[in-house]
């Protein structure tokens, strides 16, 4: 039997939460897909996990975002919150380092949701494929809520 799904890769949710379509994110760089194509989740917990198996390519100094690269070279940006770079790392704790190999569901960043929200920031966490030239058929979930690494939020194929 032909496996028509063998070239389809899944991206899991980095956190339990409610799904947000990128077009509804109040940041033009993401809502207009300038950074890449993806989806967002409003977190219901404090641990942000790797959405795929791969290598941590980059963790921003402020710990509000990281890039994980798959074995096939696909780069996923996980960006925690809107304008949270302004916090200069307050409320974010790095749990891994650049160059580490991670599995889907491994903890990457611990956030203090209450502290960040109390400072007036939204924690909408974006998961975006940044090197779109290497993928095709990116499909985002139509679910309304996800439970971390148990639910995929996006699928794609390699070009």
Residues 120-141: tens digit of each pLDDT: 999 999 999 999 999 988 888 8
Confidence category of residue 148, pLDDT binned at 50, 70, 90: low
Computed over every residue of the chain, the mean pLDDT equals: 91
Which of the residues are catalytic?
79
Q: Which CATH class is domain 8-158?
A: mainly beta
Mark 42-63 as b/e (b = at least 16 C-beta within 10 Å): ebeebbbbbbbebebeebbebb
Give me the pLDDT at residue 149, please: 60
SS (H, E, C) the chain: CCCCCCCEEEEECCCCEEEECHHHCCCHHHHCCCCCEEEEEEECCCEEECCCCEEEEEECCCCCEEEEECCCCCEEEEEECCCHHHHCCCCEEECCCCCCEECCCCEEEEECHHHHHHCCCCCCEEEEECCHHHEEEEEECCCCEECHHHCEEEEEEEC
């Amino acid at each position: 039997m032909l496996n028509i799904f063998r070239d389809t890769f899944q991206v899991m949710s980095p956190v339990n939460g409610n799904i947000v379509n990128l077009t509804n994110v109040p940041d033009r760089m993401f809502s207009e897909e300038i950074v890449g194509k993806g989806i967002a989740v409003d977190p219901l917990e404090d641990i942000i996990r790797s959405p795929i198996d791969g290598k941590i390519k980059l963790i921003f100094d402020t710990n509000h975002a990281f890039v994980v690269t798959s074995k096939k070279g696909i780069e996923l940006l996980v960006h925690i919150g809107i304008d949270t770079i302004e916090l200069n790392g307050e409320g974010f704790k790095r749990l891994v380092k650049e160059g580490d190999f991670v599995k889907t569901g491994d903890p990457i960043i611990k956030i203090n949701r209450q502290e960040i929200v109390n400072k007036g920031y939204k924690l909408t966490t974006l998961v975006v494929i940044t090197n779109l030239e290497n993928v095709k058929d990116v499909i985002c979930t139509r679910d309304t809520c996800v439970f971390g690494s148990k639910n995929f939020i996006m699928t794609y194929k390699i070009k």
